[in-house]
Amino acid sequence: MSRFADLRLLLIAVTLFGAAWPVTKAALADATPLWFAVSRTLQGAAVSGLVLVASRRLSWPGRQDLPAMLAIGLLQLGCFFALTHLAVALVPAGRTAVLANVTLYWLVPMSVLLLGERVSQLRWLAALLGLVGVAVLAGPWAVDWSQPGVVAGHGMLVLAAFLWSCTIIITRRFPPRLPMLEALPFCFLTGGVVLLPLALVLEPAGGVGPGAYGHAALIGCVVAPLGTWAAIEAGRRLPGAVASVGFLLAPAIGVVVSTLWLGEPLGWDVVVAGVLIGMSVVVATRG
């Protein structure tokens, strides 16, 4: 696959994931976080499985596929979804999109230390620009840290980004035999193994109400299978510095959608951060 095609996958992933958090935030008016995550995961398994059955491409994974599938299922689709869906109930959707997608502060050093990847000076500059943009976009000075759940919500999002970075490292270190599209149903079902017990224990009276059915269908049937496949492939194929900087586009998209749809405030910080993140992506792709 050409580098242009890899970047196109990255663009698909960040567009879908960036827009997903405002949709999820709106859905929580009539759904509980973990049951919404369960819905997202099981629908993703069903849709990707049906697509493979219809195209006669469904096949059982082998031993070589297990490290990547377990990493994706347990860390990215299980733990990541649990942490981010719990956090979005405590943190504004735009801020959730920012912090959940900042693999940058984990992925670049992990790629250097664990994979021996060389990062050019231009890509270090891109990482620095991206981190400054994220700091401006997150606006820690605008948060009332004394509010209940605010610190916990932010901690969940930082941990979620770390788990996503770990998933990318594992899938690059142990590439699966199956194409990722064909592994998706098994990955989603593995994620469900994590999420369903958590939902039963932590939200015994929870669920997804009629007001959230449309949101759940959009996230579960489109964003989950298509966005997850695109994100995994982009993370596996692109250099760590390029992938991590590219994923910063998702927060920018998430903040814009949150502003336009949910009415979350748009200020100078969003404009400045958008320019910095845009510059970081350009520098990374040229470095």
State pLDDT tens for residues 117-147: 787 787 778 778 777 877 776 666 666 667 7
Q: Which two tokens stand for residue 143?
A: 């948060």
Angle at 156 between CA 241 and CA 210, to 5 degrees: 110
Q: How confident is the model at residue 172 (pLDDT cuts 50, 70, 90)?
A: confident
pLDDT at 71: 94
State how far the Cα of 87 lies from the Cα of 109, in Å rounded to an integer. Answer: 25
For the entire predicted model, the pTM comes to 0.78
The rounded distance, in Å, linking the Cα atoms of 276 and 137 is: 10
pLDDT value of position 53:
94
Map out the domains of the chain as residue ranges.
3-286
Enumerate the H helices of the chain as residue ranges.
3-27, 33-54, 66-70, 80-87, 93-100, 104-115, 121-138, 150-173, 180-202, 213-218, 228-237, 240-246, 249-257, 268-286
Q: Taking 70 as the threshold, does the pLDDT of residue 214 lie above it?
A: yes
Q: Is 88 exposed, middle or buried (0-12, 13-18, 19+ CB in 10 A)?
A: buried
User: Would the CA dihedral through 180, 117, 131, 150 be positive or negative?
Assistant: positive
pLDDT band for 52, please (50, 70, 90 cuts). Answer: very high
pLDDT at 67: 93
